[in-house]
Copies of this chain bind each other. A is one copy, B any other.
Amino acid sequence: MTADATLDVVGIGNALVDVLSHETDEFVAAQGLVKSAMTLIEPDRAEQLYQAMGPGIEMSGGSAANTIAGVASFGARAAYMGRVYDDQLGAVFAHDLRAQGVTFDNKPASDGPSTGRCLIVVTPDAHRTMNTCLGASALFGPDDVDPDLVRSAQVTFLEGYLFDRPESKEAYWVASKYARDAGRKVALTLSDLFCVERHHDDFVPLVRERVDILFANEAEACALWGCDEVGAAVERARAEVAVACITLSEKGSIVVAGAETHEIPARPVDVVDTTGAGDLYASGFLYGYTSGLPLARCGELGTLAAAEVISHIGARPDVPLSTLLS
């Protein structure tokens, strides 16, 4: 690790507030939702779906923001870049990151769409079906990247979900260049199968040229490299990036780095809501990585944080993750 870094991890992603409600599988079917996936929706559809949903609870979300909140919860030095509007939900999003000790300095937008929301339907099987109205978050571009923040962090963490519009793709190329030029590392999570499929041809060069640490579940890894089974994807990951974490849900995860291979078992846990599982796996891994721990231990910390977040409603830790360290 680079000794002079003043931050451990800075994350970039869609700044969203989650709205969660418990619904039946019949509701998911009747609303034509893509179960367990993340679907982008327009404001009109978001309003319509919200009206159909039951009473909700609101919590700050956003994939990379959840990861960064988890990194800070472990006690590491963390910052976040993302775009909110100057409204009540934007203030909630900013508060919740700062209250976790995360540096978040992007000024709220004073024109354009309101703060993004993710309408999350949790079904009795604990799966979450996400319907995201990006709002202000989608307009993140290269000018929203703070070069000094990127240069000061050991790792810049990018969320695949944001890699959607030309401006945000440009922001990732810009941010990863600042990081690399400063001798820092770049981490990326592929986020979602459909996301990988939509932007496949743009993800491949970004991963090859700029990514040091890749997070992906098996379906996303297979889609990225056109593999039929996870073993082949793991070998492609080994060849393409310095460190890759392939998560396998209840079967745990595989961490590969050059000749190293670590199979990390999942932790037994009563699953209440899978929202944030992948986000928090990245928290634990990056906390370990920036602390200079061995990769196998980094993977275990990822599993530890993921187990905590799926044991309750919501995508951020309920307890300081530092208290779970032993």
Which residues does A use to contact B, with CB under 8 Å? 21-22, 50-51, 53-60, 69, 87-89, 92, 95-97, 99-100, 114, 314, 316, 318
Contacts and interface: CB of A to CB of B under 8 A. Distances in A.
Contact of A56 (B21, B51, B95): B95
Among the interface residues A57, A92, A314, which one has the most CB atoms of the partner chain B within 10 A? A57
A92 B56 contact: yes
A58 B55 contact: no
Nearest to A312: B313
B58 A100 contact: no
Contacts of A89: 88
B88 A54 contact: no
A66 to B, nearest CB: 11
A95 B57 contact: no
A316 B56 CA distance: 10
Contacts of A318: 22
A160 to B, nearest CB: 24
A13 B314 CA distance: 29
A52 to B, nearest CB: 8
Contacts of A50: 95
Contacts of A88: 87-89, 114
Nearest to A58: B58
Contacts of A100: 54-55
Among the interface residues A22, A69, A95, which one has the most CB atoms of the partner chain B within 10 A? A95
A316 B55 contact: yes
A315 to B, nearest CB: 11
Given A88-B87, A88-B114, A57 B314 contact: yes
A53 B91 CA distance: 14
A311 B89 CA distance: 28
